[in-house]
Amino acid sequence: MPTALITGITGQDGSYLAEFLLQKNYTVVGMVRRTSIINLERLEPIQDRISLVQGDLLDEGSLIGVLREFAPDEVYNLAAMSFVPTSWQQPVLTGEATALGVTRMLDAIRLVNKGMRFYQASSSEMFGKVQEVPQRESTPFYPRSPYGVAKLYGHWITVNYRESYGMHATSGILFNHGSPRRGLEFVERKISLGVAAIKLGQLDKLRLGNMDAQRDLGFAGDYVQAMWLMLQQSDPQDFVIATGSTHSVREMCAVAFEHAGLDYNKYVVQDQRFYRPAEVDLLVGDPAKAGRLLGWEPELGFKELMHSMVDSDLAKLQSGVRLPDLQEFTTVRF
């Protein structure tokens, strides 16, 4: 059976992709970076069925070592500094991991075995100040954050290695996707956890930034299937993966609070600290090419996703799962 290497396996998408590939009988190898606390929460149910190996996108030698040892057929590069606000605070680190990290991995593949298939986790953040609505594969890019700029570098270096070396290197331009496993700092999870905490009397107010921003938001479990489909094509190409509809942060709040029987107007406070130096106002993708060539379409809708996240956070808080101190959660600049 084929072997897949996943970088970023400890993240949201990495955990869903690992589960998906195990169902397809892959041997799954996950690359994890060294941390002072082991961070395998999202992998708990499958930990005994995958191999984990240390490596870091900042260190090309470690990538070459992992590729030599496990000889994967497919490499899914999901690792990145993925949180947009942090990219203004740490622009150089963001460039090292999210941009140059892609070159390090592509070059490691070129050196070890350029027959390995490569997936790059590109992002709708690259469209930034959008030049066309909806955004499709041919839409010009205009990134609005150091993160978006770094992802754009990763995108073009993937195209370049494909064209320079004939590698099966593919870039998936994925629009926002969440799940109950989403990092706490991303807006839809901040909202679902905030709703659960307010409902249970553990929090008074939810502090947010720009509630007019609009995002095309799907379910991570649906999106990892598209990654795999891209690597099964004989002809490597780039694809937009999106739902085709968009929702404001305000709408996310309305749907999530309403699901818990609450009116968001009473609890949400707009706080300047959560506004960004440059905003991406509107993202909405056109997934027609993915539908046509990959046969991919999203299954879980926006409301169902928000509801499942609220339900999951309610269950977690009720079962006493220790989440970060809720006071800090509302004031730290996520």
Least Å distance, CB 251 to ligand G4F, is 11
Evaluate whether 81 touches 147 at the Cβ level (below 8 Å): yes
Binding map of ligand G4F across residues 249-278, x = CB under 6 A, - = no contact: x------------------------x-x--
Strand partners, 98: none
Amino acid at 103: T
If binding is defined by CB under 6 A, does position 185 make contact with ligand G4F?
A: yes
Binding to ligand G4F by CB under 6 A, coded x per residue (else -) over 282-311, reads -x----------------------------
Residue window 20-39: x/- pattern of binding to ligand NAP, with contact defined by CB under 6 A: -------------x-x---x
CA 35 to chain CA centroid, Å, is 20
Assess 177 for contact with ligand NAP (CB under 6 A): yes
Asked if residue 213 binds ligand G4F (CB under 6 A), the reply is yes
Nearer to ligand NAP by C-beta: 216 or 260?
216
Question: Count of residues binding ligand NAP (CB under 6 A)?
Answer: 25
CA distances from 110 to 39, 181, 263 (A): 30, 33, 55
Of 15, 77, 176, 192, the residue at the interface with ligand G4F (CB under 6 A) is 176
Give the residue with the Cβ less far from ligand NAP, 203 or 230: 230
**b/e 296-306 (16+ beta carbons within 10 angstroms → b):** bebebebeebb
Name, in order, each residue with C-beta under 8 angstroms of 226's C-beta and a sequence gap of 6 or more. 172, 174, 239, 241, 290, 294, 296
Structure tokens at 249: 């942060």
Contacting residues for 52 by C-beta, under 8 A, at least 6 apart: 9, 29, 30, 31, 32, 40
d(CA 183, CA 21): 22
Q: Closest distance between ligand G4F and the C-beta of residue 176, in Å?
A: 4
Beta bridge partners of 29: 5, 51
Q: From the list ligand NAP, ligand G4F, none, which binds 13 (C-beta under 5 to 8 Å, kind-based)?
A: ligand NAP
Chain residues binding ligand G4F by CB under 6 A are 82, 84, 123-125, 175-176, 185-187, 190, 208-210, 213, 215, 249, 274, 276, 279-280, 283, 334
